[in-house]
Amino acid sequence: MPETDLDLLIAAAKESGRIATGFHGSSYETWDKEDGAGPVTAADLAVNRMLEVELREARPDYGWLSEESAPKADRQEAERIFIIDPIDGTRSFIEGSDTWAHSLAIAEHGEITAGVVYLPKRDLMYAAAKGKGAFLNGTPITPSTRDTLTGANILATRPSFEPRHWTRVPDVTRNHRPSLAYRLALVAQGRFDAMLTLRATWEWDIAAGVLILEEAGAVTSDKHGAPLRFNNPDPRLPGMIGANASLHAQIRDALAT
């Protein structure tokens, strides 16, 4: 039987974890990207090389968009495309923490159809295929059912709660995780009530997590409430909100942006 796209991503994520954990705790090269785009390590590039070879060999007609690859001029002509973050949470990886993830997704005509967020050091494999539900290590997951924004536990950075972003700053408990992909997965799992990011957001950071959230039963949008579409000419989206339908609407109503 041919390997499904989700099976392909799960296998690739496991191999990514094997490569990355081989670097973890050892000495490896690290440097900063241009224009303040953050750090990159030899581990990021090693994982990216493997993924580009293995995934593109398995699906040669799929396009390619990755944080650690040079832009591909023909990617927008592709019907389907891989959207990859080899290591999401590189700073956490460098610090020796275990809250970094591999984020692998496939989009078809702008919609995510398969996605995996894998944290090898925590043995957490979040996975979803369109129309098939969302799972953590093979067990179905669902988001929080909380219906009041006041008192909610929200994953977001501190600047997201500056008063200029809100018509009224909600009284919530703010939490943080270094990997944006992991934040989305935690909300899909119901560990937290919602997540949001209000700055420009790279597609590879959220592509897999968006599908996992939606298949778990949550609602996603950009910070303005518009649907999220992928494989754009500029692969940056205007922020993101993810939560159950009630909290998503309340967050969007409270935002001034």
Binding residues for Mg(2+): 67, 85, 87-88, 205
Q: What is the pTM of this model?
A: 0.95
What letter would DSSP give residue 158? Answer: G
Q: Where are the alpha helices (DSSP H) in the chain?
A: 5-23, 42-58, 90-95, 180-189, 203-216, 245-254
What's the chain's length in residues? Answer: 257
Residues annotated within the binding site are 67, 85, 87-88, 205
Give the pair of three-digit tokens for residue 99. 């809250």
Give the C-alpha distances (Å, rounded to integers) separating 85 from 13, 40, 99, 139, 177. Answer: 11, 12, 14, 24, 16
- DSSP 8-state class, residue 68: T
User: For 239, left (φ over 0), alpha (ψ -120 to 50), or beta?
Assistant: left
* Residue type present at position 140: P
DSSP 185-236: HHHHHTSSSEEEEEEEEEHHHHHHHHHHHHHHT-EEE-TTSPPP--S-SS-E
In a structure prediction context, what are the per-residue pLDDT tens digits for the chain, which is 257 residues long?
357 999 999 999 999 999 999 987 766 676 565 565 577 889 999 999 999 999 999 999 999 999 999 888 789 899 999 999 999 998 898 888 999 999 999 999 999 999 999 999 999 999 999 999 999 999 999 999 999 999 999 999 999 999 999 999 999 999 999 999 999 999 999 999 999 999 999 999 999 999 999 999 999 999 999 999 999 999 999 999 999 999 999 999 999 97
Helix 203-216 × helix 180-189 angle, to 10°: 0
Task: Give the Cα separation of 243 and 130 in Å (integer).
Answer: 18
